[in-house]
Structure 1
């Protein structure tokens, strides 16, 4: 819950602060470890964007926080979106008339 205000503070910091790429991007393994250890998130979905990019959804069951991560062919991963109150879609049965 605290990470969104902290990220917003970092994003709005003066230009002399650490570059944003240093904060929201990291090598794939480092990003995975940070999301798992620091935020208690688990990867729940992965999709291929194109030949150069893979999109991952990470969530925390405990807090409901979610993070969208884009991983590039060069091994770098970047957070592209994050939020709260993740709610997985409930699959609809093929027999459901709706």
Structure 2
């Protein structure tokens, strides 16, 4: 499915490095840490920027970050302020149409 298998391998390896560099608590899930640190690294390593976010009740915020190259990352920040990488990949395709954007404006 990936158009660039070498890039996908790089993305997975870089994500592993990103997770290893994050400050982690002993009991925390891998890929969790301070939101500002995670967001900064997504920008530095992958040139990803936020394209949207949504609330999960009053428990969490989910954010989606993408790059022009097609990489993407989903973050979730809980009510306590901890941010975790929930998923990451490549070949992002936007399906949002102009009519939906106009309706929401």
**TM-score, normalised relative to structure 2:** 0.67
Aligned length: 85
CA RMSD of aligned residues (A): 2.8
- The secondary structure found in structure 2 opposite 1:87 is coil
Q: Secondary structure at the match of 2:52?
A: strand
Q: Normalized per residue, which structure has more strand? A: 1
Question: Which residue in the other structure is 2:71 paired with?
Answer: 65
Which one has the bigger helix percentage?
A: 2
Gapped regions of structure 1 (runs ≥ 5) = 10-17
Counterpart selection for 1:83 from 83, 86, 89: 89
Number of the residue aligned with 2:62: 55
Q: When the two structures are superposed, what TM-score results if normalisation uses the length of structure 1?
A: 0.71
Pair 1:20–1:83, CA change in 2 (3 A): farther
Gaps of 5+ in 2: 1-6, 18-25, 101-105
Q: Could you tell me how far apart the structure 2 residues matched to 1:19 and 1:7 are?
A: 20
Q: Distance in 1 between matches of 2:39 and 2:16?
A: 21
In structure 2, the residue corresponding to 1:30 is in which secondary structure? helix
Return the match for 1:27 from 22, 25, 34: 34
Q: Confirm or deny: 8 A CA contact 2:11 2:89 kept in the other structure.
A: no
- SS at the partner of 1:45? strand
SS in 2 for 1:70: strand
